[in-house]
Structure formats: structure tokens, C-alpha cells
Structure 1
């Protein structure tokens, strides 16, 4: 491969099919090396990666898969075969890198030795396909500048990665947030650039997919929040209020008077209206803002399920297994 000589790409995936083929094609010419890490695919992903010229790493299926574990394995392959270059771009298998991104990101890291990582903007390839995809599109578009955390598409300084020991393989969701928290605590700064980075294919067309994704998000709130108590504190509090305290208050009020139950119940339309206004301020069209606000209000319930699932697993000392929505 060509691209910046001191940048390598680590692409991770599992049964991504055509999405992986697109990711591999987009990666061509973006870096000096490309490592693909496969987490037990059965759809020909490894053959596709080999045909594209990638170095292929297959994870041991006897150990629970996590994105964190896969990224660590990709970095380890670089270290074992000549050493990781100065910077490593991590990409998920459902993402296609935008031409020119690695050069922009590498130049920014070279200009500021205090930066541990940079990220950019994701965009959905098919936002028109569903309101769930459009919600993802909104989630990805965050302001450029200093950040506390970012998603899994990121360019990381290899020195910083080594210093903190990479990703925590036990974290099954929001592992990128957890990684960023440790990076910042080690003294590195993080930045989002005002540049297009990747095209993401959420491929969510059913409510059940969105619900499972929201469960996974809740699992991340709880697990990463336990590791870094100040992080996700607001999110955890909202979940406890809207998915636990308010339902209990409504049920308790019904026992006294159905009319009394209307008082705590009014918190839900108020939350919806607030979310819709926020989305409109971000430029989301009115109809989409209303539909997306419903999902944001409803999301507290699957979030709570994910949080409870994490704590039950922790108490039983059960493996932290992936919650998949595709």
C-alpha cells in the first residue's frame, strides 16, 4: 500500500460482507500498511481481506470477541512485524475511510506533539433508509476542537497507545470512550478535526436493531462508568430517572389516583419536546427531529436493560459478551 509512510491502518470486522469490501477498497492508498482483524466471520471476510492485500489476523474463537480485543490484536501484529509506525488509524469494518483523511490527520499529529489522537467526522452512507440511520448521522456530527472522547474511528499516536496499554479487551461497549479516558488521564490531548473521516453504514431498518444498539449503549454507560465514575454520570442519571424512578412514581400515583399519575407522566412529553428543540437547533428537519426525539426519549428503557445486564454479569462474574444489533 501507499499513503503516509509512517501510518498504518487497522481494520476490524465480523461478517460485514459488502461493507467490508467497500472498507477495503477505500483503504487502498491511505497508509503504508493495512491489517485486517477478523472476529470469527463466516462470510468470506478473510478471503476478501487477503485479496485486497491486507495482512489478516484471526482471533481465537474460544475467547469472547470485543472490538477492543480486535484493535489490540491489530496493533500487536504491527509491533511483531517491524514495529508500529508513528501513527495508527483504527477503522471499524462497517466504515469506509474518506480519501485524503490519513494525510490530514497525520499532519495534525505531527504539528502538535501533545495530541494523543485525532478523529474527524463520520457520515452515514444511507441516512435516507431509516430514521435510525438518520439518528446515527446526527450522533456522528459533533463540533470540531478539543474532545473528551470519540468513536472507534481514530488516528492514534503509537507512543500514546503503548503508554496506556491499548484498549481494555473486557469492555464490550464504549471501549473507545474508556480508551480515551485513560489517554487523557495519561496527559494526552484529544481533538476532532473539521474534516470528513469515514462513511459509516449503520444498516438499521428495524426497531429491534435500534433497541439492541441502545441496550449496548446502556451496558457501556454502566461498565465504563464503573471504571471512570465521573464519566457517563449524566447519562446514567437520566436513565435512572426516566426508566426507573418515573415509572415507579407513576405506578405509585395510580394506586392513589389516576389523575395524580399524570403529574410524573408529563415528564416524558417534556423530555420529547426538549429533545426535539435541541435537534432542530442542530439543523435537523422538523419531521425528523420529532421522530428522533421519540427515540431519544424511549432509549432510556433499553439503556436501563443494558445497565442492569452489565451489573448482573459483574456480580455473577460472567463473561462480558457482545450485544450485537446487526
Structure 2
């Protein structure tokens, strides 16, 4: 496995691989890797000749400076995991390599905001930062296929639209969320939860499962069920709760003809903002139930 720290060397290495006609898979990460990331690597390894992983804590997608400073940096441990997973290239640049002219003068990419959570100011900042760094990374790596988990649905839809609208010739692969036995979605920030918060955190997924059951049984009672779910999370110690049920394809309000809904959840627990989602097959117009919710 080769670790590359500069865009110049990465470009040269990618050009060499392209000359050899290799199929390149790419997994962008911010490090502090867990089994969810390794599941992406495993799938990428099965679908491509070369697997490239970036490890870069992107400052543009952090609305709050203290969140950026608190984010875990574990590059050595990450590289050990990636080497065991047979990754070919790791791009681990400094901020100055990705943004050589500084953040204040960086051209930024704005994907038209999706509704619901994406209309919140912190989400617009986060998704703009994600779109910007993805454009840079796509231009450098030039992958044939890119892999993402599905726990952050607004991010996934943003990247899907980015690839479509900017004519990137890149396939987008979605891998189901990997969860702990408690149901908590694996996240790089979970290591920052204290013991009490770690015990409370799975309640977010439990509330989402309850909402999923409601959608299939009483789709007309969405508003009431959301209010009850927010109250439940408040009692469990969560704050600044954002909980929505939307059409999974565009994050608009669920419609009569919506085939799939998505429950979008984000909330602060201590100093960590947890993000999760759950896809649910909608009942058909006759009211019969479809399959159970996916990951």
C-alpha cells in the first residue's frame, strides 16, 4: 500500500494506473476508520482493480470550529487497517495541499439545496463543503466508481446530484449502514461519546424503528408521530433534534405515490451530533404493507 500526501504525486500515480487500463474505485473518508468504512473497502475490492482511499478532515464541512478541532485524527491506525484490507493507495493530504490558496479564497460548489434538513443553515454549510471537496477529489482520483454508506442520506443525494449535474463519468455505489448490536450507526465520532451518552445513543435508532412501523401502519399520522418521537428523544437527553420523514428520492414531503420514504434524524448528544437515516417501503395505495424497512 502506498501513502501519498500531495496532489502532484497522486496525479502522476493515477495517470500511470490509467495507462495500464485499471478500474479505479474510490472511498473518501475523514479518518478514524471503523467497520463501516472497511465494509466499503471490501465491496470496492470486489468491484475494481485499484482501491484508493482518502483520509482528509475537511474544514469546509464543519460549521463550528470546535467540532473541527475535536474530530479524531488517527492516521497511523487508519493506515494499518487499510493495509490489512488490501487498499492500494491512501491519499492523506494536509489542508494546505487541498486548499493551497486558503479557505477564504476557495471556489466552492453549491448543489441546489434539497428540502427538509438541507434547508437548515448548518446543513447548507456542511453539504457545500462536502460538494466542494468531492469535486476536488474526483478531479484528482478520476475514479470509475465511488462508494458511500447510506447513514447520511442528504449527503448521498447531494453527491448523486453533483455527479449528474457536472457530468462526472463516475458510478455511485451505496452500501447499507453498518450498525453496532445496539442499533447505533457506526460513526467516526462515536468514540467521543462518554459512557452515559454511548448507552443513550441507540435510542435514536429505536425511535426511528418505531416511526417506520407507524409509516406502514398509519401513514396519515406522520405529524403526530414525529411530535411524539421528538418528545421521546428530548426525555432521553437529546437536544436540537431534527427529525423528518420525506420521500427518499428527493426529500420532498411524502406523497401518495411515494414508493420509499426515508426517516432523517440528527440530534446532539453531549458534544456530538449524531446523524442517521432509515429507509421504509411505503404501503401501496390499497393500504397493504410492503417489505420491512431497509438499513
TM-score (norm 1): 0.32
Rg bigger for which structure?
1
> Which structure features the higher share of helix residues?
1
